[in-house]
Amino acid sequence: MKKLLLSLTLLIVFTKVHSQIKYSYDNYGWNNILYHAHLGKPNYSYNDSFAIANKIYQISKSTVYYSTKGKASYSREIIDYDTKGRSYLRLKYADTGLKQKIYLMANRNYDEQGLLQSSYYRSPFITRSEFYEYYDSNKITKSTYFNHKSKYSGQTNIAYNALGKESNVSYFNHKQHLASAYEYYYHGNGQLKQTVLMDKKGKVKQVTDYTCDDIGKKVQKLKDTARICSIKSYLPNGHIVTTTNGFNYIGKPYKTLDIHDSLHQLLKYEVYLGIKEEFLYGTTYTYSNGHLIKNELNNHYNHKKPYQRITEYNEVGRVTKDESTYQISNSKQNIWKNTFTYNPNGLLTIEQSFKNGKLYSETKYTYKYYQ
C-alpha cells in the first residue's frame, strides 16, 4: 500500500531514508530481531540473508522491563526459519512471571518454488488470513483476505505491463465491490509518468503527474492534479543533489533534498513542509574507515521540542551505539541509550535500554542452528 501512495503521503518520504540504513527488514515486513545494517535498497524477499548465512532455524528474544515501582514485566518472541531462511512461524508472549499468554501469532505457508501461498496473523486487535495468486513471472496478481471468522473481507488485484511493472491495482471490499483503483503510466524508459486514482464508480479522483515542465520550476497543484517534480544537479566534487517538490496527502507542498557522494553513499536527507519550507526532518550520514554514524533530527511532532537520534555502526554493519534525546521542555530532556553485546559470530546476544542513565529494559537473544 505504501508504494501505491508514494505520490500522496509524506510518510513515504520518511520511508525513503529509513530504507537506506536499516535493521533486518529483508523478510517482507516481519521485523526480525537480528541487528545488522543494509547499506542499500530494501530487499523485499521472503528469505532472510542473515538467517541463511548463520544456519539459524530459531531466534528467541526474552525481555525484562523494569518499573520505577520495582515490579518487572516480561515478554518473549520466537521466530522459526526453514533451511532456506524463510520465516514460517512467529510467536509473541506476554508474561507476568506467573503465566504466559500468546498475544501475537503469525505463520506462513510456501509452495515448492518458495512462493508464499498464505499467511495468518492474530493479535488482540486483528485476526487476518491472506491467500495469494501468481502468474508466470512470480508476481502476485491477487491477494484475498479473510477475517477472524474465516469470512471473506476483501481482495487486491494487480495487473502488470509488458515490462513487468504495475499497470493497475484494484481494491475490493467485503461485498466484492470495487472500492478504489490505481492506474500507472510510464515513460518509454520505464520511469513512472503518472498515477490515476479512481473511486468505486470508476471516476477519476486524483491524478499525480511526475513530469517536470521546466528544470527547477516549483510544483503547482491543480484542481485534480498534483505534480511531483524531481531535479538532479551534479557538483564539481562528484556529489549528486536531488531536489523533489510535491504535495502530501492533505495537499500541503513539501520538498525533499538528498545528497549522495561519488560512491553513491547517502550523505544527507532532509524534508521541508509548507509554503515557507519549514524544516521537518533530516538525517546526515558520516563514513569513516568502514564505520557509519547516522544523525537524525526530527521536528515532525513538535518543532519547538525536536527529537534527535544518533546511531553508529561498525565496519560489518552492527549497531554499536543508539542514543535518542527528547526535549521535554526548555530545561528538561529524556535521554534513551541502547547498548549491544554480540557473540563471536556477530549475532546480537544482549541489548540493554537506559532512560536517563537508569536501566529500563534488558533483552537476551538465543539462537538454534541447523547442523
> Could you report the per-residue pLDDT of 253-273, keeping only the tens digit for each?
888 899 999 988 889 999 988
Q: How far apart, in whole angstroms, are the C-alpha atoms of residue 54 and residue 132?
A: 30
Among the listed residues 288, 255, 287, 249, the one whose alpha carbon sits nearest the alpha carbon of residue 269: 255
Per-domain boundaries in the chain: 10-125+212-369
Burial per residue of 129-145, b for 16 or more beta-carbon CB atoms within 10 angstroms, e otherwise: bbebeeeeeeeeeebbb
pLDDT 10s digits, 196-220: 889 999 888 877 777 765 444 555 5
**Amino acid of residue 26:** D
Instruction: Read off the pLDDT band of 4 (50, 70, 90).
Output: very low
Listed as own residue / partner, the contacts of 358-363 with beta carbons closer than 8 Å and 24 or more positions apart are 359/66, 360/65, 360/66, 360/336, 361/63, 361/64, 361/65, 361/66, 362/63, 362/64, 362/66, 363/61, 363/62, 363/63, 363/64
What's the DSSP call for residue 68?
A: T
Residue with cell 503469525: 106
What are the distances in angstroms from CA 296 to CA 18, 57, 302, 328, 334? 11, 34, 15, 17, 16
- Provide the pLDDT for residue 26: 37
For 153-164, b/e burial (b = at least 16 CB within 10 A) is bbbbbbeeeeee
Res 13: pLDDT: 34
pTM (2 decimals)? 0.73
Under 8 Å between Cβ of 250 and 240: no
